[in-house]
Structure 1
Amino acid sequence: MNRGIYITANDKVIEQGIALLKSIRKYDSDTPVILIPYDDNYHTVVERFSRDYGVKIYPDLEFIERLSNKLQQIFGNKFFARPNQFRKQACWFGEFDEFLYIDTDIVVFDKIIDNLNYLNEYDFLCFDYQHLGGIKNIFTPEIYQVFSKDELLETFNGGWWASKKNLISEQDLYETFAECAAHPEYFDFSQKTSDQPIINYMILKRIKKRFNIVNRPEKAPGSWAGTSHFHQEGDKLIDPTVNQPLSYLHWAGIRIQPGCPYWDIWEDYRYIGESKPTHYPQKTERKKKV
């Protein structure tokens, strides 16, 4: 079985991408990683990621462009805050039979690809506690016309998910986009999220064998950097509510910069094998009052 990891990035997020890839390679030197360009500004990240971490670029850039253009035709140019996030849907048509998609504002703490072993029983995986926050940032209450309360307990964060090649077709994507464009009242875009509502809708509608890894019998740790109770042991974080190490940490909705939650962890992984800088240009310090 051909397995691998997809990421999306452009030159703007090169630092985040380096931290993610260093964390992946710390625990796994072999699993192939493919970059889906977020936009046309990707040549620096491709060169750096290829040279240092063995990352390859997605081969069918024409398809990615076609997907982007079709999306704009369906929704219009101004509907989404960040329409290029939908480029990650190229995962369904790439070279991996089983794949993990992972955002660059993440670092991992184990051989993350091993989670795909659950695909022996399921067709779609997620690994987060997004559902505990209800349907906000995904759906509005209007969605109860479409899905049951139990189904809506299976909502997920779009920064980490796994599935199998060709379970979703290109036509499935376009039909889903058209369905969603016809019913914007179903979706919560109040926090300027883009792809997450639409992709949740598509997965709930079109893939039946779904599994959230946090529901495994032995329980599972959290993963969001906005959670304050994780504590550090060496180069990992522990979730004391289940007494387990985190599999990954996701800074979803949080700017990664000095002073942000778990900055030390991100910094440690970003500078594996390098000296840490003594000054960060992005850090703003208040002037002391005289």
Structure 2
Amino acid sequence: MNGICTLANDTVYDQLIALLNSIEVILGSNIPVCIYPFDEQIEQIKAEIINRPNVFIYEDSASIQRWDEFMEAAAPERLNRKKFRLYGAHRRFCAFDGPFAKFIYLDADTLVMNSLDAVFDKLDKYDFVVYDFQFRDPTKVYNIQSPKLLEVFEQNRLDSEIFCSGFYASKQGVFDRDTREWLLGKLLSGEAEILYAGAGEQPLLNYMVMKTGMNSYNFGCSLPDDEKTGCSVTSPHFQTRDNILYDKGNRLTYLHYIGVQPDLIRRVCAGENIEFPYRDLFLHYRYLREPSKRPVFREPLKSYADISAPSLLERVLRRLRINL
């Protein structure tokens, strides 16, 4: 059985509902969707999915514990809740245990924009499939200052195989017990120093895929230039037609609201008139099942840049290393 996976807790409830609605519209209401619990705060999600028979929460506690222990051994500093907001993001690795033979993982802050058949089809030939352009910026995956980096991976691989962990497809069982233990041995022998220190599970997943030499494919690298599309809200040129985005005439596969913080989404859904990229599209999918609850904005529009930019006082305090 094939299916869709995501990772969530009640903090990203609004994003999750938008994602589930986009899956229902684009992929249908029968495709199974598995939610991996970011943490124990999932009461809103549990109540919501009662009305979504194709959606379920992953409850294999042994699998969750196994990957918690793997993360603690591989990169214990990333489980520091005070330092890393994404401390639980590694639980998406449970998808490699199940329940789907082939799966596509999407972050909760994404919207499906197109059929994913082509992605599933690539898994007939490849073990790992992505569609993004993270390979253009290795600094958010690896510590490029580490002299060990080029001892572990050749430059041509760093230039072409790096990916964003917000969207990928793979198969059940590709990281079995022996493979996990081998990877941990390599990391603990000193290779952990090549991982970028500032981002949850993404550096580790890149390392796992690249170190094992997994047969991988990136649509962003392989499609002809006149067919490939972007995927991030940081791209301002996408065109909207019938609540679907297009990039120079080509329909997007998915849209990732990367950088738009959960707190801002909550404020907008509560009625605060804050601008963020492709906001109307997000609100369309978020309130698709309950349009009467869509917020009506009565205050002047606030710029996302103004809201997200630190104040002068905050910048001064940061320079003084004072935590607010």
Shorter-chain TM-score bucket reads 0.7 to 0.9
**Aligned to 1:136, what secondary structure does the other structure show?**
helix
Q: Distance in 1 between matches of 2:47 and 2:56?
A: 9
Q: Distance in 1 between matches of 2:72 and 2:34?
A: 25
Q: Is 1:61 matched with 2:61?
A: yes
Which residue of the other structure, out of 87, 105, 115, is the alignment partner of 2:91? 87
Q: Structure 2 vs 1, CA of residues 50 and 136 (structure 1 numbering), >3 Å: closer, same or farther?
A: farther
Task: Give the structure 1 partner of residue 321 of structure 2.
Answer: none
Task: Give the structure 1 partner of residue 322 of structure 2.
Answer: none
Q: Distance in 1 between matches of 2:99 and 2:143?
A: 36
Q: Structure 2 vs 1, CA of residues 280 and 204 (structure 1 numbering), >3 Å: closer, same or farther?
A: farther
Task: Give the structure 2 partner of residue 236 of structure 1.
Answer: 244
CA contact (8 A) 2:228 2:250 kept: yes
Task: Give the structure 2 partner of residue 138 of structure 1.
Answer: 141
Task: Give the structure 2 partner of residue 103 of structure 1.
Answer: 107
Task: Give the structure 2 partner of residue 31 of structure 1.
Answer: 31
- What is the CA-CA distance between 1:91 and the residue it aligns to? 0.5
Q: Distance in 1 between matches of 2:236 and 2:184?
A: 36
TM-score by structure 1 length? 0.87
Q: Which runs of 5+ in 1 are unaligned?
A: none
- What is the CA-CA distance between 1:183 and the residue it aligns to? 3.2
Task: Give the structure 2 partner of residue 213 of structure 1.
Answer: 219
- What is the CA-CA distance between 1:26 and the residue it aligns to? 0.3
- What is the CA-CA distance between 1:196 and the residue it aligns to? 0.5
What code does the residue aligned with 2:54 have?
G
Q: Structure 2 vs 1, CA of residues 74 and 149 (structure 1 numbering), >3 Å: closer, same or farther?
A: closer
Q: Is 1:128 matched with 2:142?
A: no
CA contact (8 A) 1:24 1:111 kept: no
Q: Structure 2 vs 1, CA of residues 40 and 246 (structure 1 numbering), >3 Å: closer, same or farther?
A: same
Q: Distance in 1 between matches of 2:238 and 2:77?
A: 40
**Aligned to 1:120, what secondary structure does the other structure show?**
coil
Q: Distance in 1 between matches of 2:191 and 2:286?
A: 42
% identical equivalent positions: 27
Q: Distance in 2 between matches of 1:229 and 1:66?
A: 42
Q: Structure 2 vs 1, CA of residues 269 and 79 (structure 1 numbering), >3 Å: closer, same or farther?
A: closer
What code does the residue aligned with 2:143 have?
T
Q: Distance in 2 between matches of 1:284 and 1:220?
A: 33
Q: Distance in 2 between matches of 1:76 and 1:247?
A: 34
Task: Give the structure 1 partner of residue 313 of structure 2.
Answer: none
Q: Deviations over 1:108-130 (max 9, x none)?
A: 11223542111111111001111
Task: Give the structure 2 partner of residue 179 of structure 1.
Answer: 186
Q: Distance in 1 between matches of 2:12 and 2:117?
A: 22
Q: Distance in 2 between matches of 1:234 and 1:74?
A: 45
Q: Is 1:155 matched with 2:158?
A: no
Task: Give the structure 2 partner of residue 52 of structure 1.
Answer: 52
Q: Deviations over 1:195-229 (max 9, x none)?
A: 00011011011143110012134631010111122
Which residue of the other structure, out of 149, 165, 172, is the alignment partner of 2:172? 165
TM-score by structure 2 length? 0.79
Task: Give the structure 1 partner of residue 286 of structure 2.
Answer: 270
**Aligned to 1:83, what secondary structure does the other structure show?**
coil
- What is the CA-CA distance between 1:244 and the residue it aligns to? 0.5
CA contact (8 A) 2:74 2:192 kept: no
Task: Give the structure 1 partner of residue 13 of structure 2.
Answer: 14
Q: Distance in 2 between matches of 1:99 and 1:280?
A: 42
CA contact (8 A) 2:78 2:200 kept: no
Answer with 109-118 or 15-24: which moved more: 109-118
**Aligned to 2:36, what secondary structure does the other structure show?**
strand
Q: Distance in 1 between matches of 2:7 and 2:177?
A: 19
Compare CA radii of gyration and give the structure with the larger one: 2
Q: Deviations over 1:216-267 (max 9, x none)?
A: 3463101011112212222111112xx3011110012232643111111111
Q: Distance in 2 between matches of 1:251 and 1:180?
A: 31
